[in-house]
Structure 1
Amino acid sequence: MADDLMKKELIAHKVYSAWQFITYTEKNINTVQYCADTIDNVIGKMTMKTVRWQQDISTDFVDDITEDGKKVKRLSVTTENSPVYEVRVAGEKVDPWFLFDKLLRDFFQYTMNAFDSMSQIINAGLLANRGKKIDSVDIQKMMTTFNQQTYSTAFPKMQAWLNKIAQSQDFQYIEAINNRTKHTADIANKLSMGILGSSNTTEIGSFVRKDVQHDKIELSDQLQATLDFLDSSWNEFLTVFQEEYVKDIYIENRKHAISGVRQQKLKDEPDQDLSYAYISADTTFDAMPDELYILLVSENENEVYAHECSFDTILVTGTNNLDVLGRYCAEDAIGDDCLLHYRKYVKDKTVTGGACMFYVHQENTVFYHKNPYFNVESVSDDETFLARTSLPF
């Protein structure tokens, strides 16, 4: 299992954005277990109702005599006196067969979701600056990517793990049944209660996917096999991931902080209002890299805070935060989202020096409060403004 130590190590190796996908993988795995447990509970409740029905209906047996004179007891089961099966979800009566069908599909879908979340961990934690677009990443995408020599050489253990998963019959079944029920049609699953001595039937039906025959299988056997496979795959994945991300490949020019924000507000000169984020240059602007990747991360004792770097432009300053040397511009918009990225900034080689301030005045002015991510310097003749911005956000 992932723990706080790994979280801190991800920060140290500048791949902290992978942590959100680690926690989401575990959330998916917990959901898979919930589906399995709830399916078992549904079947258990239906079995209990069957037993109670059989006990109650015993009074309906009538004495009779067969043609050859033997005494027997007879029972007539009709729609009127047959068992009634329904379960309650949030106080509502739900058909257990509907719930069974939904939970079974969810079980395999969330299993695939867990593997797709593992691929997001690979993308964020290993590929890093070379990562694929988040919305295009899934386990198949990573399998294809890591078959390229560049990545199989850089991360041989992860490439071996991906190949092992791809070749596993367990994974092939999970992928097949998930895609069949998600995109094509139902499978003839069976859930029936045995009465008066007959046994229950719980089966996942047979189906054909991409010319491959998958035979019917006992429900409990397949659920347990899938749970075991998912658990072992996740544990193996974490071991491999921890061995590979510490290589620090593809994390060049990543930063967890900026130098600060300078903001100015004058009561009688609103056209002079401005606010800009800046990074102090170690030497010269020309010597700085062409690209920066920034995710704001702050550690306070045992707490870790992280936030997207929301600035579309970041100035580079020299001897002080008024000595503007140049600027970096964000490559992509981030929108309003909870996902964390190391946002990519590209050096602007066409606008340098004091000319950068002209563009600062053209942007919408946003004023910032005291916060854990960067220092804020406020300049104003408005005491109320200064007091307000000194308060935590």
Structure 2
Amino acid sequence: MEYCEELQKDLIEHKIYSAWQFIEYTQENINIANYCVNIINKIIDKLEIKTDRWQEEMETRFYDDTLKNGTKVKRLSIKQEDLPTYEIRVAGEKIDPWFLFDKLLRDFFQYSMNAFDSMSQIINAGLLANKEKKVDTVDIQMMTKTFKTSAWCKTSFPEMYQWLKKVNESKDFKYIEAINNRTKHTVNIANKLAMGILGSNNITKIGAFFRKNEQHDRVELDEQLKQTNQFMLDIWDEFISVFKEEYKKDKFIENRRHSITGVRQQICEDDPKQNLSYAYIKVEDNFDAMPEKIYLLLVKEDDNQIYGNESTFDNILVTGETNTDILGRYKNDQDIGDDNLLHYRTYVKDKSATGPQCLYEEQKKNITYSVMNPCVNLEIIKIGK
């Protein structure tokens, strides 16, 4: 899947831009899994080259001999210390290739599984939207269960429901899930990487294992990696096609915003206690008629550059004709912490606070906002001196 600028901009238009970070991360997981395959193949190639060179050297050590019956033969004596040794250098350090092979094989299935969890985050952020589940609870199993047990998910996004069903019924997915859970949570399996010498064949196999009353047989390494890798690429392309069709329905995105009117920052040089900063939006019709909740993610397109920033404002004030005419406020209803994760942060209308009270409480915070945020128009008023 070649995701592109057009898709990124389309997510902005449909007010589901927070899904973009998970699209990027899904692709990153798939790329890492593919990288693991490439390095595994290079490890095997290096071991084969080393083995071939060793065999060429051994051929020079044959010597002529005669059996008791007079038959002339060629003999080769190989001691333990004559056997080939294998090492690979990583960042200047000598690494056991079998250790690296085993690690990369586990990583391959881990990142393949991670990609499915990231696709579930795309569903959560891009389709469920204002009804999304908590990010830390989302994975492919949880999302499948949500669609299976929630009628509104099935009816709102029937194509995505069928995609989830197809994935969970797929033999390829079941194998990825099984081997990942086995090696991640239980114990490793008996993989085989052996170089054939003096006429014997190489052996590269993923070991057999028995999990949850199901036998998974030993399989050829190359065949399984190619099959799983292709499955990931195909299912990812299919997912994006389904996702595009479903998000265009614009479900559950009411009252989402990508901007505020601005931030007013008053700096009193004679009396710092009078400093005041607040974020605000201009009233729409009248404050009472505005929605009970708004969902804010700061997004801006500028010179073919897209900026996305989390809204760090605790409160969003609502102003009248001027930005000093305070009518009320929205208070944040979602803790976000210090994180790079983007959310449409929830703000709830505060009907109890008066304009003067809003200003007074903002003044007590004594906060100065950064002028470096490209998504916010900042007005600075200096008083005194």
TM-score range, shorter chain: over 0.9
For residue 128 of structure 2, give the secondary structure of its aligned residue in structure 1.
helix
Matches within 5 A, 1:172-211: 172-211=174-213
2:291 is the counterpart of 1:272: no
Matches within 5 A, 1:115-194: 115-147=116-148, 148-194=150-196
For residue 80 of structure 2, give the secondary structure of its aligned residue in structure 1.
coil
Using structure 1 for the length normalisation, give the TM-score. 0.95
The match for 1:114 is: 115
Following the alignment from structure 1 to structure 2, what is the Cα–Cα distance between the partners of residues 351 and 286? 13
1:184-225 Cα shifts (integer Å, max 9, x gaps): 001010000000011000000100111110000000000000
The match for 1:228 is: 230
For residue 80 of structure 1, give the secondary structure of its aligned residue in structure 2.
helix
The match for 1:329 is: 331
Following the alignment from structure 1 to structure 2, what is the Cα–Cα distance between the partners of residues 370 and 96? 48
- The amino acid that maps onto 2:74 is K
Contact 1:112 1:175 in 2 (8 A): yes
Matches within 5 A, 1:276-355: 276-355=278-357
Contact 2:279 2:313 in 1 (8 A): yes
Contact 1:64 1:74 in 2 (8 A): yes
Following the alignment from structure 2 to structure 1, what is the Cα–Cα distance between the partners of residues 173 and 370? 49
Unaligned runs of 5+ in 1: 384-393
Cα deviation, residue 63, structure 1: 2.2
Matches within 5 A, 1:6-85: 6-85=7-86
Cα deviation, residue 355, structure 1: 1.7
1:284-333 Cα shifts (integer Å, max 9, x gaps): 11111111110000101311011001101111111211111111111122
Following the alignment from structure 2 to structure 1, what is the Cα–Cα distance between the partners of residues 155 and 86? 57
| Correspondent of 1:369 among 354, 371, 375 | 371
Contact 1:258 1:374 in 2 (8 A): yes
- The amino acid that maps onto 1:167 is E
Contact 2:275 2:366 in 1 (8 A): no
- The amino acid that maps onto 2:292 is D
The match for 2:88 is: 87
1:40-98 Cα shifts (integer Å, max 9, x gaps): 00000000000000001112222223343322222222221101111111111110000
Following the alignment from structure 1 to structure 2, what is the Cα–Cα distance between the partners of residues 154 and 69? 87
Following the alignment from structure 1 to structure 2, what is the Cα–Cα distance between the partners of residues 202 and 212? 23
Following the alignment from structure 1 to structure 2, what is the Cα–Cα distance between the partners of residues 102 and 79? 27
Cα deviation, residue 382, structure 1: 5.8
Which one is further off, 325-334 or 184-193? Answer: 325-334
Following the alignment from structure 2 to structure 1, what is the Cα–Cα distance between the partners of residues 69 and 140? 69
Cα deviation, residue 370, structure 1: 6.0
For residue 312 of structure 2, give the secondary structure of its aligned residue in structure 1.
coil
Cα deviation, residue 368, structure 1: 3.4
The match for 1:98 is: 99
For residue 354 of structure 1, give the secondary structure of its aligned residue in structure 2.
helix
Go from structure 1 to structure 2 and tell me whether the alpha carbon gap of 1:382 and 1:180 turns closer, same or farther (over 3 Å shift). Answer: farther
Cα deviation, residue 373, structure 1: 1.3
1:315-372 Cα shifts (integer Å, max 9, x gaps): 1111211111111111122222111111111111222332211211221322332642
For the aligned residue pairs, the C-alpha RMSD in angstroms reads 1.2
Identical aligned residues as a percent: 57
Which one is further off, 230-239 or 294-303? Answer: 294-303
| Correspondent of 2:252 among 232, 250, 253 | 250
The match for 1:390 is: none
Cα deviation, residue 283, structure 1: 1.4
- The amino acid that maps onto 1:230 is M
Contact 2:270 2:384 in 1 (8 A): no
- The amino acid that maps onto 1:335 is G
Using structure 2 for the length normalisation, give the TM-score. 0.97
For residue 194 of structure 1, give the secondary structure of its aligned residue in structure 2.
coil
In the comparison of the two structures, how many residue pairs are matched?
383
Following the alignment from structure 2 to structure 1, what is the Cα–Cα distance between the partners of residues 153 and 244? 16
Contact 2:266 2:383 in 1 (8 A): no
Contact 1:370 1:376 in 2 (8 A): no
For residue 182 of structure 2, give the secondary structure of its aligned residue in structure 1.
helix
- The amino acid that maps onto 1:83 is P
For residue 196 of structure 2, give the secondary structure of its aligned residue in structure 1.
coil
Matches within 5 A, 1:377-392: 377-381=379-383
For residue 287 of structure 2, give the secondary structure of its aligned residue in structure 1.
coil
Contact 2:88 2:96 in 1 (8 A): yes
Unaligned runs of 5+ in 2: none
Following the alignment from structure 2 to structure 1, what is the Cα–Cα distance between the partners of residues 202 and 260? 64
Which one is further off, 364-373 or 28-37? Answer: 364-373
